[in-house]
Structure 1
Amino acid sequence: MIRRVVPDVVSNQDLLTLPKTATVEQAAIHMAERHVRSVLVIDEDQLVGVFTGTDLIERVVAVGKIPQATVLAEVMSTSPETISPDQPAIEALRVMRAGGFRHLPVVHKSKLVAVLSRRDFVREEEDEIDLEEKLWEEM
């Protein structure tokens, strides 16, 4: 079984953060430039939401909102789940699976320090979660 903590999974990230007043168009441009699929939305240096490629599709394009006129505060996922950097990586994966999301902000003493993506995990961690779920189903 792999034993990793969150800092082992992500380090030295250049986080993509935007204020909640940024437009969806601005977010999409930054996401494309950086080749990432999420923006961490901040207000006065505090994490207030996450805007993802899925949000762009489901909350903007599919409902006919105008990306140039829609601000992130209107379409982001608010009050995102977070994890502290001292947690095991497997726990982060559990939180992501339970919540059904692909991105998990890492916060230390109210400061945003990283973001985990499902792509950050190795197969062994995924397999361990699968085994846990199977065992719970059998109980």
Structure 2
Amino acid sequence: MKDRPLIEVAPHRDTICLPPDATVQQACARMREAKASAVLVTDAQGHLLGIFTGRDAICRMLADCRDAGKTTLDAVMTKKVEALSPRDRAIDALHLMHDGGFRHVPVVEGGRVRALVLRSDFRALERAQIEAEEAIFATIR
């Protein structure tokens, strides 16, 4: 279970990818249509440039009173994105999310986006393993 490949976590989901010059309004509309919580920002070849999430919409748009119809994703996306390969272990992605404090991990192969994995995609047993490890480390400290 803990050694299953990352690509098995979310093979069913279409990943929304938009160019960096797309507007926040366009991204939010796509997210609403797809009931998605994030958009991956990619170049024309499918290389990952960044990620735009619901948190970005609130923290970088609303809080700064920006115009969603004029602001591009490039201006508000998270640019330093942690990504993993399809062959990485699922539990490694969950560790990365936990340690980094985020809920999305792009899956990239050969420099191109393959999928987007969400924290909610993981099985209860995998999430429980992370919580158990955290409890052990808290006891050791």
Kept in 1: contact 2:2–2:89 (CA 8 A): no
The residue aligned with 1:82 is 83
Q: Distance in 1 between matches of 2:31 and 2:90?
A: 25
The residue aligned with 2:33 is 33
The residue aligned with 2:55 is 54
Q: Distance in 2 between matches of 1:105 and 1:5?
A: 14
Structure 2 gap segments, 5+ residues each: none
Q: Distance in 2 between matches of 1:12 and 1:126?
A: 20
Q: Percent identity?
A: 39
- CA displacement, residues 65-118 of structure 1 (integer Å, 9 cap, x when unaligned): 000010000000002000111111111000011111111000112111000001
The residue aligned with 2:126 is 125
TM-score w.r.t. length of structure 1: 0.95
Runs of 4+ in 1 over 4 A off after TM superposition: none
Kept in 1: contact 2:3–2:89 (CA 8 A): yes
The residue aligned with 2:104 is 103
The residue aligned with 1:43 is 43
Count residues in correspondence: 139
The residue aligned with 1:112 is 113
Kept in 1: contact 2:7–2:107 (CA 8 A): no
Q: Distance in 2 between matches of 1:2 and 1:118?
A: 15
Q: What is the deviation of 1:12?
A: 4.3
Q: Alignment RMSD, CA only?
A: 1.2
- CA displacement, residues 8-44 of structure 1 (integer Å, 9 cap, x when unaligned): 2111432100000000000011111111010000123
Q: Distance in 1 between matches of 2:2 and 2:17?
A: 31
Q: Distance in 2 between matches of 1:80 and 1:112?
A: 12
The residue aligned with 2:74 is 73
Kept in 1: contact 2:18–2:42 (CA 8 A): yes
Letter of the aligned partner of 1:127 in structure 2?
A: A
Q: Distance in 1 between matches of 2:89 and 2:120?
A: 16
Q: Distance in 2 between matches of 1:28 and 1:134?
A: 37
SS of the aligned residue for 2:114 comes to: strand
- CA displacement, residues 42-78 of structure 1 (integer Å, 9 cap, x when unaligned): 1232101000011001100121000001000000000
Q: Distance in 2 between matches of 1:43 and 1:86?
A: 23
